[in-house]
Structure 1
Amino acid sequence: MDRRPKSVHLTEEERNRLRELLGSGMNPTHAARQMGCDPRTARREAKILKARGLAPAPEPAPASPEQARAERLGAEFWRRKAKTAEQALAKSEHLAGELAGLRGQPWQIPDWLLAPPAPGERGRSVIGCLVTDIHMGEVIQPDEILGVNRFDPDVCRARLRRYFEASCTIGQRWASDTDCEGALLVLGGDMVSGSIHDELAATNALTSPEQVVAVVETLAAGVKMLASTYGKVHVVSVPGNHGRTTPKPTAKLYARLSYDMMVAAMLQERFRFDERLTFQHGDSKDQIVPIFGRTAFVTHGDKIGTKGGMGFAGPMLPIVRGTKKVEAQQARFGRRPDLILHGHYHTTGNAGAVLSNGSVPGYGEYADDLRADPEPPQQWLFLLHSRWWLRERTPIQLEPPGRPPKPRVRVPAGWAEADREAA
């Protein structure tokens, strides 16, 4: 039986490979284990390399039990950190993949919006529909606000149907003395209720994907109505804060990670063969629309630079400050908005060249919690004239007119009879 050391049987190729491992910094014990040879051979080769000026890595000193335990705990900690990071990255990639269809969507400004007024012309017009803060899927319980309002998906559909019907009726009347070029439908964000707060996630009637489907169906019916009435429709969309898919608002990827942009993309896909419709939306939180040689600036309102309200003045002062900041910012870019369209504050206002929109849900638990002034559910309808610009505007009431609802008060059983007996 041959009992010579295994090192004797190393071929020249194996010996060169062993020297490469030692020269790369591997210590002799590990190199011998990898090559399957006697450690003495590896140490001998290491001495040869050292003599040539290529010292291999020194043999590791045996770790103490405390050091070994610390190393194990450290390795476990970083494994957990890496796993958490991988899960977060996978979630982001999945979400970006779901919304990937939003990127690369072609959009264009139609010619009928671009031409400036010609001398002596009769006057051209565009009917503008500002639709924001739909909050499809949200539920407002009447009992929680003494019965002054209620809201759910069915109420939402009925109110939007009333809005589009009124837009077609009133808009035609306004444009009767002009050459009406078409309709501008501005979808200004918060198309869905979303699940950005725990209370919304717990009380919404629909999940976020179901909200997207429901609002697309409802808006598609409205778009068809506008196209049938005015012939051409240009749809402009921007993202809102309720449509975000992130726990907190972000500066980067704000539009790409928004259900509002999914709504816009699904609408565009639905009408891709209808030449009467054009769409405008993108990766920005804002959009600029040229109309008759002027510009309309569209944003949701949550990123105009101011937030909240100011005492008895409510949100109007922050709205004025914020829109002035938008005007100043755009002026520094060499652009001057002739009209700013936004929502977010659920407050109807027309402070100068600004249309601040109300909401479709109307007065709810959040407003009641703030003791805010009640505002009926309403949305702006306006007419832009080629010569006179913002010539007509009115907030469309989304509920039939009538007396304010009486507060709903529940009287415990027996109280009424006790009062009668006492009388």
Structure 2
Amino acid sequence: MNPVVVIGAGPQGLAAAAHLLERGLEPVVLESGDGPASAVSEWGHVRLFSPWSELIDPASRRLLEPTGWSAPETGYPTGTQWVEEYLAPLAEALGDRVRYGSRVVGVGRKGRDLSVDAGRAEQPFVVHVRRADGEEERLEAQAVVDASGTWRAPSPAGAEGLPALGEHAAVEAGLLDHRTPSRDEAAELAGKHVVVVGSGHSAATAIGDLAAVVRREPGTRVTWALRRGTVGNAFGGGSADELPERGALGLRAKKAVEDGYVDLVTGFRTERVLVEDGRAVLVAEDGRRLDPADRVVVATGFRPDLSFLTEVRLDLDVRLQAPTKVATEVDPNLHSCGSVRATGATDLAHPEPGFYIVGAKSYGRAPTFLAMTGYEQVRSVVAELSGDHEAADRVELELPDTGVCGGSGLFDAPEQATSGGCCTSAPQLVQIGTRTDG
């Protein structure tokens, strides 16, 4: 019988393989990088806001424990620690079922393109793979689980979802980066002007680290540019967040603004990035210009890479590019208060039987994906693939409340009209550090 192909050897991909083995199904995990969880390794300097107890998949634990591995019990690991102490041992336990340097470039049905109905469901999947040496191969699979994540598809600075004019040139000049700097990298920016674009957890992490540099080196400047006309939920849920470390990220960012270490600019929708005298100048759609920056950190989220799925029949939300039933739970345009519901095989199913997108990619462009969300997804999906429909339908996870209310807020509302939604009023914290052409 053909194996189940899992795309990506990150936390959810490796967990899917462990669940498949436990249910008697043979996995093949295809990873484009040269080691396990290669994407996590790229942000290894970042400390997770989930504790160890929520970062280890139960089936993976059961696979690892007979090898003499023992689970870390307490604390909040960095990405590097997560890899070294859990994900790398898990990949090793899976052995040659994990293939590195194997990039998936296409998925389809054997002998059937996207338009063909006849006999489609009876045909195996065909996964086209390009190896690191440039050779290509074609694998047949009984099912495909896409756990490839979104890390390598960051959203650009441009407000309309496309790169701002000049954004690529600023990247090539080393002035703009779509990656959150490490603390050491942040320290190297002492005495310089840094602009952070974005409002999620990555942006809050960067703001917290850069504010610490400003405290030590008062000549350092940090400008935080938000697209929305209100602060909204940029500071997160604070003490109301049921994940304390997640709430603490926003509280640190809020204090940095209150204490004057960071200039917060709202309603700034980047149209172009100019490179002037070796520095980057962000220009908004309304003509405002930020002061020249030595470094621009773009932390505007991520998006799914769907380029290799053009021959798979997908049911995706038009806004988030997430499975439609998942999107109704996580869409920031709609979601107002409290937590979201855990999702399983039924929510993740597509018109292509046997194909599932799991992990961060299942949220499409929506933010705030938790590892334990993905572990519940793969448990349910693998149960469905094994024929255990009762287990697949069962929900074994209640997600923690974010403490954030009011959805995404009013996009064009002026700051003074802001409201925090159904829980608390949004903070009134704006220190404008811009100049206007004219």
The two structures share one fold, judged by TM-score above 0.5: no
Query: Could you say which structure has the larger radius of gyration?
Result: 1
Structure-2-length-normalised TM-score: 0.23
Give the structure with the larger helix fraction. Answer: 1
